[in-house]
Structure formats: structure tokens, C-alpha cells
Amino acid sequence: MAAREGLVETWRPCGMGRRGRRLSVLWAPGAISRDGAVRAAKNVADLPVITLSDGNWLVATAVTLDLVVAVAAVVLFRRVRGTTLAAPALWALAAALALLATDLYLATRPATPALWASLLRYLAAVGTFSPLMAVLGAKRPQDRGWQWIVASLWLVLLVPAGQALVAPSGERLELFAAWKLLLWALVALGLLNYLPTRLAPAAVLFAAGQVLILSPQLFDVASAGHRHLAGMALIALCVVAATLIARATRRGSTERRGADAPPLPRLSERWCALRDGWGAFWALRIQQRIAQAAELGAWPVRLQWWSGFEPADARLEPHVIAQIEQSLDALLRRFERLD
């Protein structure tokens, strides 16, 4: 302990050989006594020190990634507010906050029993299925009632955690084969919904991240620290990829409007926005309905998956374009923002 006028210094070992961290407490004569400043320095020195040797850089990185995903969910909600994708964005925020709360809890309580830590991580990890499940019911007017189904799914997936609490059989949560198959099916469902869209790279990253954060249950592995961090990194990369793809899509749409615009450009852009935002599940149904309307109305137009509306004739009659727009409006008003 070294003391000099106006400053009291102490050294706190950091668990890294002979090195230490110098902790300084300012001392102003007349405010407190020198002995009081010395005691304050001792109290500061007694505080726990988080060091890289303890592996807490994993926790700090995981918390940072959780915050990135949470902020991205807030930004997404602000962009899609008024559409039926608002509820999936809120579920994404809830899942990100659950992951953040779990990482912070385990970081501040390193003595948490292994079983409790495993259950908490599982509780937060299965929440990542909620946004994708909410998308599958994102159509008016049933979108509000569908949220109860999403919440019920989250609770159902927690049944193994409840069983482990009632009758613990080890130091971590282990799932039966049926529960593993259900988790794999949910991962595949979310992946397949966005695989035939522009967001396919982001969907692959998200699915891989889900598998990694659920690896203790899917693969029966004991250690999950590095896998959890890798999974959160992939989910954060999914956010980055989706953002870059969305920006490139908007930039391309602006350029097409300024150049020689293809036939029905505005309607094609609305179709592409539905396909990429809501996924293949809803896009296939819309495409089928448009095909039926085109056949009944004898429209010389077909709705292609990637390019949108493509006319068979070089020129389209104005009344045909009006009918197509009316049909598309009637279908998409159950998804898009209502003006």
C-alpha cells in the first residue's frame, strides 16, 4: 500500500502471475480523512476483478452479440410497424432479451449450478423459434390470435426443463429423441421458409446459429461455452447479411425505376417484398391465387417466382393492369401496412 498527498493507491492482484492492477482513490483534504481514503482504497481493492484468464471474454462477447441482435430487432420493428410482421419482430426482441438476460445472469453468478445454467440457456435458446413461428401466422385477421399459439409453443418446448427440475437426473438437461426431432423440425421449417428467397444466406446463418446454441441438447455435448458464442456470432452475422441484402434490393429497385422500367415494375416489387419478408409459405399461396385469377380473367401475364409479373404480350391493356393491381391489392392488404 502506497499513500501520498491527494491520492491513495493500492494494488489488486488480477490472477495473472505477478502482475496487478493499480486502483486509485482520490483524496481531497477536508472532505474525508486520510484514514478514510485508505479504507476506501482497501474496499475497492476487495472488489472482484474479472480477468481474461477466467474466460469472461466469452461472456462479454456473448452479451455484446445479444445487444446487437436486440437492437436489430428494435430497428426491424420500427420498419415493419403496421404490417403483420410487427409481431414476429417483437418475438425476435423477446428472444434476444431472453438470451441477454441469461448471459448476464450467468456472468454475475458464476456459482450457478450446472443444471440451472443448462436450463436457463435452453429456455432462452428455444425462444429463437418464436419469430419464425409467428411469421407462419402473419396474415390478417388471424395474426393476433396466432400469437397465443406462438407463446404456447415456447411453453411446450419448456416441458423437458420442467421435468428436469422435478426429477433431476444429471448436471445438464438431456432430451429424449422425440424432443430432439421436434427441435430439428423447427430449425428446418424456418430454413425452408426463407431458403427460396433473397434472404437465403441470412436464413442459413440463422439456422446454423440455432443449432449451435442448442448443441448441448441436440448433440448431448457437455461444454457449451464456445458453441454458444459461435451460435450468437452466426445469428449476428445473419442480421448483418439481411441488412445488406435489403439495402441492395432497395437500391436495385430505385435504379430500375430510373432506367427503362420493365412491365408492371411496381407490382413486381410488391410481390418480391412479400416473398422475401414473409417467406415461401405465404408467397406460394399468393402466387397460386394470382395464377387462378389470371386464368379466369385471361390475363396475358404470369407471376414468376424471381422476376415477378411478366407479360406475354409487349403491350398490356390498361384495364388488364387495373385488374391485376386490384387482385394483388385484395391479397396483400392482409399482410402489408394499411393506409
Q: Treating both helix axes as pointing N-terminal to C-terminal, what angle do 265-278 and 280-297 enclose, rounded to 10 degrees? A: 150
pLDDT at 94: 96
HSE-CB at 5 with a 13 A cutoff on CA atoms is: 2
Number of helices and strands (H, E) in the chain? 14, 5
Q: How far is CA 98 from CA 67, 216, 257, in A?
A: 11, 18, 42
CA distance 213 to 280: 25
pLDDT bin (cut points 50, 70, 90) of residue 5 is: very low
Domain boundaries, the chain: 2-45, 55-249, 263-332
pLDDT at 127: 95
pLDDT at 257: 53
Looking at per-residue confidence, does 216 or 17 come out higher? 216
**Stretch 112-134: mean pLDDT, rounded?**
92
- pLDDT over 60 at 115, yes or no: yes
3-state secondary structure of 304: strand
The one-character DSSP state at 196 is T
Among all chains, which residue has been given the C-alpha cell 489488486? Answer: 12
Looking at per-residue confidence, does 220 or 155 come out higher? 155
Instruction: Identify the helix (H) or strand (E) that includes residue 309.
Output: strand 308-311
pLDDT at 22: 39
Predicted confidence (pLDDT) per residue in 150-184, tens digit: 999 999 999 999 988 888 777 788 889 999 999 99
- pLDDT over 50 at 142, yes or no: yes
| Residues 15 and 47 sit within 8 Å (Cβ to Cβ) | no
How would you classify the pairing of strands 308-311 and 301-304? antiparallel
**Stretch 236-258: mean pLDDT, rounded?**
79
- pLDDT over 70 at 100, yes or no: yes
- pLDDT over 60 at 52, yes or no: no
pLDDT bin (cut points 50, 70, 90) of residue 55 is: low
Please, what sign has the CA dihedral across residues 178, 179, 180, 181? positive
CA distance 24 to 3: 10
Highest mean pLDDT among 24-33, 37-46, 201-210, 299-308: 201-210
Among all chains, which residue has been given the C-alpha cell 399461396? Answer: 285
CA gyration radius for the chain? 27
| Residues 24 and 15 sit within 8 Å (Cβ to Cβ) | no
- pLDDT over 70 at 40, yes or no: no
- pLDDT over 60 at 13, yes or no: no
Among all chains, which residue has been given the C-alpha cell 438437461? Answer: 173
